[in-house]
Structure 1
Amino acid sequence: MSTVERKVRSLVAEDDGMREAIKVVLDHASDGEVKWVDVREEISSGQWGRLIEKGILEDGESGFALADRAGIEDGLESADDSGPITSGGDADAPEGTSWSKWDKAAGLATVGLFAGYAWAPVRQVIAGAVDVVFGPLMNVVPFHVVIMVVALATGLYSTLLRAGLMDMEKMGQYQDRMKNIQERRKEAKKRDDQEALDAIQDEQMEAMGDQLGMFKEQFRPMVWIMFLTIPAFLWMFWVVGYRGSEANYQLGELVIPIAGQAVEWTEPILGPIQIWIVWYFLCSMAFTQIIQKSLNIQMSPTSA
């Protein structure tokens, strides 16, 4: 069953008046196109709008073109011959996301950067390179301000990368399709329609690939974010002294409300988590929210 056929069946199932509206459009379609002025006496503007909204009518050269005449006719015929829809719906399977060679290269490089947490020579090289950028700040402002600058930078590029690389509309399509299947499954259970349940079960198995598609959509920007953030983290570890090693800068002590006294930056505050890590994440979350609001960037999936 084609996508257009499923959409026609869905429209007719929701509103039987759409059956006649679609027939009128088919009758007036000349060379595969129809204009509103040709059918406005026979169908309502709401019905016309629904046909456009569902993609049954598409932009044409002089009017609106039929998306698939054969599929529309098959949809009307199958809607006449059968009862409730047992499979398919308005939510189509979105096209999968493919990673470019640069995405794959960033993924491999990110895996290599993780070696810096376990291998001192790698950590020294990466931290030394990042120190060229942030090192001068250490001689001008306190360490907690430097961490704020790092958090601001990571929050900015993280937000921009997610907005640029993750297709929120496609994420919404994945969610809409799964929601559509679940709703039709509930309706079939209420009707005790075993044939419909079997068909929906098969469709649900086919839709399992959507979970992989969503994961690829979410993980693509994360690869680039980690590629840029891991070096910054390795540098901060190098500054404070990695796992008890000697610090590379004089950081001094600080007074924090939770501890109520002067403590070292490497002092554990939440279990084994050190103070500087907690401070970084607090700053990062705050700056990320401010950046998203300031740039009006939507970070939740857009429903179709």
Structure 2
Amino acid sequence: MPRIESKVRTLASDDGMREAVETVLERTDDGETEVKWLDVKGDITSGQWGRLIEKEVLVEGEEGFRVADAEATRAGLEPASGEDTSTSSGSVTEIPDDDESSWSKYDKGAALVTVGLFVGYSWKPLRDLIGTVMDVVLGPLGEMLPFYAVVMILALATGLYSTLLQANLMNMDKMSAYQERMKDIQERRKEAKEAGDDDALDAIQEEQMDAMGDQLGMFKEQFRPMVWIMFLTIPVFLWMYWAIGVGQNASAHVPLDPLVLPLRGEVGWTDSVIGPIQAWIVWYFLCSMGFTQIIRKSLNIDISPTTS
């Protein structure tokens, strides 16, 4: 089986896994007999045992586990004979190294600035400063168009760069690999539970604990584009705060006609329409959600990870 050979070759490149494969081959008499976790507990770790099951080098037998294909497993332990086994149709997608998607100094800098920008929501001097600076760019737009149209344009712009940032900064292959690994562990755990194999359950449980780090990796992948989105969007929000006159002792800096919302009719920009949520925020999010869906469909961008 070329697929088994490719899997074993990949495993053998990791520290300790070559010895683990050789151990199970020896204990199963080159695949002739079955082996249980207790039989090899002193020679290989539970994590190595779990990886052998995960990669299907070991498959479930009648009373324990057996080597799926001893000949292919032996071939996988041999040095490659020049052919590129990583491109064979049976190769297994591995989770990319964390270094491939580690945050750059620019990502970290943007995150630090973003944290500082959050202060503007509660501290009026900073909000007024950012609003005044942003008004140099956005002020002429407010003079040419009614404010509801300005908010629509801002929602379109934020929806566009948010979609592009998510599509370009998020490693979808890695996200898919994370989800595929967790799905595989859950399926094998279910099968072992149905078979009543406590040894396999213990090994899979250990592997599942090791895989918890994947959750952190997924969070890092999702949060990286979010940092840049907030870095660009918070100043826009603070300008709208400043322009509309949100907060105590604040006054509007642009002419504001009443806003007409679906199901609510005519309301003031700072009127509460959904609990404490004010009308201008509702209008912005309605526009943003609509434009974002149109942008994704138009550009054929899908930011949902897929598993095979």
TM category (shorter chain) comes to 0.7 to 0.9
Greater shift after overlay, 104-113 or 190-199? 190-199
Q: CA, structure 1 residues 12+209, in 2 after alignment: closer, same or farther (shift >3 Å)?
A: closer
Q: Normalised by the size of structure 1, how large is the TM-score?
A: 0.74
Q: Structure 1 residues 249, 188: CA separation in 2 closer, same or farther (over 3 Å shift)?
A: same
Does the 8 Å contact 1:91/1:176 carry over to 2?
A: no
Q: Does the C-alpha gap of structure 1 residues 271 and 23 become closer, same or farther in structure 2, counting only changes over 3 Å?
A: closer
Tell me which of 90, 100, 103 is aligned to 1:54.
Answer: 90
> TM-score by structure 2 length?
0.74
Unaligned residue ranges in structure 2 (runs of 5+): 1-7, 13-20, 22-51, 61-65
Tell me which residue corresponds to 2:118. 114
Aligned length in residues:
254
Q: Which residue of 2 aligns with 1:10?
A: 56
Deviation at 1:222, TM superposition (A): 0.4
Provide structure 1 residue ranges, at least 5 long, that are not aligned to the other structure: 36-47, 56-89
Instruction: Kindly state the Cα deviation for residue 102 of structure 1 after the two structures are TM-superposed.
Output: 0.4
Structure 2 counterpart of 1:138:
142
Q: In the alignment, is residue 249 of structure 1 matched against residue 254 of structure 2? A: yes
Change (3 A) 1:134 1:266: same
Moved more, 203-212 or 246-255: 246-255
Deviations 1:165-220 (A, max 9, x none): 10111101000010111111011111111111111111011001001000000000
- Compute the RMSD of aligned alpha carbons: 3.1
CA contact (8 A) 2:53 2:59 kept: no
C-alpha distance 34-272 of structure 1, shift in aligned 2 (>3 A): closer
Distance 1:235 1:193 in 2: 61
Q: What is the one-letter code of the residue matched to 2:166?
A: R
The answer on 1:178 being equivalent to 2:182 is: yes
Aligned residue runs from structure 1 range 1-304, under 5 A:
3=11, 6=52, 10=56, 13=59, 19=69, 22=72, 32-33=81-82, 52-55=88-91, 92-96=94-98, 97-244=101-248, 245-260=250-265, 262-303=266-307
Q: CA deviation at 1:94?
A: 4.0
CA deviation profile, 1:28-61 (whole Å, cap 9, x unmatched): x9971359xxxxxxxxxxxx9x992332xxxxxx
Q: 1:34 to 1:100 in 2, by over 3 A?
A: closer
